[in-house]
Amino acid sequence: MKALKKLTKTGSKVISDFGDSVDRGIGKLSGMAEGKTFLHGYLLIRVEEARNIPDMENWYSKIVNSKDVTDPFVDVKLDRTRIAKTRIIDNDLNPKWDETFNIAVCHKSNTLIFDVRDKDHAYTEEIGQVELSTQLLLNGQEISDWFDIRKNNKVNGQLKISVTYKSMYEIGESYEVDSYFPMHRGCNVVLYQDAHCPDDIPWMNMVQGPPNIPSNSRSCWKDLYYSIRDAKHLICITGWSVWTGLYLFRGQEAVDIYSGSLGELLCEKADEGVQIYVMVWSEKSSGEFVGDEGVMGTHDMETYKFFKNKANYRTTDNMVRCALAPRELHETNELTDVLQNQFGSSMYTHHQKSVIVDAGCPYQPDGRRVLHAYVGGLDLTGGRYDNPNFELFSTLLTDHRGDFRNSNAKSTPADVGPREPWHDIHSRVEGPIATDVLQNFIERWRRQGTREGPPPALDYMLCKKINPEACSVQEQPDRQWNVQFFRSITSDSADFDPEKKNNNYYLSRKKGKIIEHSIATAYIQMIRNAQNFIYIENQYFMGSAYEWDKDSQVLCNHTIPAEIVAKIIDKIRKGERFTAYIVIPMWPEGDPTSGPMQAILHWQKRTMEMMYRDIGNALRDPSIHVNPAHGSHPQDYLLFLCPGKREGYGSHIEDLEPPPQGSLAERFREVKRQMIYVHSKMIIIDDAYILVGSANINERSMAGTRDTEMAVGCWQPQYTAYHPYGDVHVFRMKLWAAFLRHWEELFRFPGTLDCTRKVKEYTDYNWRVYNYDFYGMDEMPLPPGLLLTYPVKITPDGMMQNLDGFASFPDYPSTALVFGSKSNIIPEKITT
């Protein structure tokens, strides 16, 4: 044991036999020295207890309380990056934490540090550290013992810990995640692009799937309307925003199907006796401060008052139960908790979006009904109604009258335009998976909604009417789905199952709170499983700050970007092809010159430059044989893309008001173009697996402690990565057809170099035609497609630069920087 402790103090000088786990790459590694140990897998860490730690309290604290002693906790770090934190134990010199952490790692680090600290009211003080060389972990053996807590040359007690490392190469590939909610077989999934999707879009109808896989498009809000209309017993809705004034149908469909609002529809269902629960995020600014709509435009108070208004019902015997749920701590024990509560309730959100309904099923032998659940990125609120045509001007006086949104230029008048095109992804899940979506709702209502009445219960009375375990019966059994439900959430917002909440393998703890971050776990596992390609659409893309060249101290440390890079480099080393396609909006929604948007763009730049840097290093690494036939440029493996729409002149323009002189609207009218806002939260792996939900790729969504989120991971067992020609494959190709306004056989194989370069060729050309004025081109013809290359330039060695002529975004002031700018005022936790 003495030899082991000596190694923990000085670090092993022995070169590891595990070559895959030691990074001897070229050049700078995020400001760290060369030769870092690469941990890629999971760390199982148990912090048990400490003994004989010193009293860190000052004499004046003893005046207030003579028994006041050290309030210890432990930060666990890989070098400078915190990966876990125990709860604080008050007034204890021999604390027992007994906490376990299962941590996904994709880190270059030589030292695992246990930083034992004392928590005072407004700051923390170091007691000492235990350091372990990460090379000791590589063989997978458990290290478990008491270790001296050292500060400088002084021993300040001992810490009992155990650590086990499991390399990802020892873990079998599986789409099933060890998580709070289990995977379910016997399910069905319907996938949706945008709120409305007509079936007469020619380029989407070009998509040819296998003979038994239909490629028809479904409209999300039309299906949702029929699901709500058909419900007999139960409707449960969660949302970042739920607007009672929303109209699900526009144009002729509003005449032929339903012309009322969402609020009117739900009140009608309540009058029929259906039990309806609506749970919306309580935005702190709404109500008494700036009106019922709130600064964020969530309509939370407006919605709450609408459902409380008895005039909106025929009878008041059964009204919609509406709960306002702030994102706040359940318990506040100290000053920092109070401050965090003020910050969290103001800045963090409940971001989950779901609708759960009972539905008829002709296959149920006992006649009971079943559950269906809608899960994804679409909020039931204003500005979301769109279709793959993404009209800018022609629908302002028709489909979008009373529902105009352009948050990128808020001064734009609704009768002038253009509107902000909105792209999103949603899903409907059927079978036993829908019960897990309902269980999430029940757990959240139990924690934050009971003042409006008890939650729905999966009790005997409900189960007499609804079979929560019913499988979804398929006419073609080979199209059956496996589905699993994931969340980002804490015990402040959900009342966890007592039988599960002590499972330290898939739940973690921080300051006594229980945390679930299974969405991040699922993303990581699926990226590690990927064989040929990854296709991502997401509203934000930032993370793995510990690998950034600069700003690496920023608390945005989820590993998803680093995992993508590790996958690509592993494929390059093996001489295999792989591409990651990442579709993001041109900039985050809002004025691109504003401080918050510029800060987000700055973190995005840091993430992108880190990824291209490491791929460029791998392609130049003399120890790696790079097959030129597989690609020699970083963009042969990683493509960032963004959609935009440019239109031609039409007679509908004459019906609109002229734009104010000198305004952005005047510029927009001249060039008739806008970015298409990507609000999707989706990843597709090898056309075999899809994860759809509400979670962005940032720390707010992935940490579990910031915004609450939900997602479903779905796959058809008959259609694996080696034969991926099922519904996920067809859905991805229809997304590409909608963006590229074109389809060809090559698009079936996104991982190939031919496909990657073809997509880049198309999107580069679309960018030039979109910006016809800059490139000296004629206004006509219009861009052949909507998908554009993201406006950055990547050199062969992986350096990221501004695209020539585009240090700022088109049509906006020069302060709308593509690379963003760091804010010294806005807290980093808001923008990451």
Three-state SS for 496?
A: coil
CA atoms within 13 A on the CB side of 590: 16
Residues 6 or more apart whose CB falls under 8 angstroms from that of 477 comprise none
Of the residues 36, 108, 299, 353, only one is catalytic, namely 353
Which is the catalytic residue, given 351, 426, 633, 672? Answer: 351
Nearest-angstrom CA–CA distance, 400 and 421:
11
The residue annotated as part of the active site, out of 119, 350, 605, 681, is 681
Beta bridge partners of 484: 713
Catalytic residue among 605, 679, 734, 760: 679
- Identified catalytic residue from 194, 300, 358, 811: 358
Q: Which helix (H) or strand (E) holds 676?
A: none
Q: How far apart are CA 107 and CA 32, in angstroms?
A: 12
- Residue 72's nearest CA partner among 115, 102, 101 is 115
How far is CA 171 from its chain centroid?
Answer: 24
- CA–CA distance, 73 with 114 (Å, rounded to integer): 10
Active site residue 358: yes
Backbone angles phi, psi at 709, to 5 degrees: -145, 165
Q: Which two tokens mark 827?
A: 């807290």
Pull the structure tokens for residue 753: 């170099």
Q: How are beta strands 184-193 and 425-430 bridged, if at all? A: antiparallel
Active site (annotated) includes residue 679: yes
Nearest CA-CA partner of 493 in 378, 353, 352, 377:
352
- Contact predicate 393/656, CB 8 Å: yes
DSSP label at residue 173 = P
Closest by CA to 636, choosing from 571, 708, 697, 692, is 571
- Contact present, 505 and 104 (Cβ < 8 Å): no
Check: CB of residue 447 under 8 Å from CB of residue 493. yes
Distance CA 219, CA 194 (A): 8
Give, as one character, the DSSP assignment of residue 136.
Answer: G
Calpha distance 570→530 (Å, rounded): 11
Query: Is 681 labeled as catalytic in the residue annotation?
Result: yes
680, 421 Cβ separation under 8 angstroms: no
CA-to-CA distance for 793 and 410, rounded, in angstroms? Answer: 30
Burial of 696-723, coded b for 16+ CB within 10 Å and e otherwise, reads: bbbbbbbbbbbbbbbbbbbbbeebbbee
Burial 550-577 (b: 16+ CB within 10 A, else e): eebebebbbbbbbbbbbbbbbbbeeeeb
Instruction: Kindly give the interhelix angle for 220-230 and 262-271, rounded to the nearest 10 degrees.
Output: 20
The CA-based angle 418-765-534, given to 5 degrees, is 90
Residue type present at position 267: C
Please spell the DSSP secondary structure of 250-275, one letter per residue.
Answer: -THHHHHT--S-HHHHHHHHHHTT-E
Q: What is the amino acid identity at position 7? A: L
Positions marked active-site: 351, 353, 358, 679, 681, 686
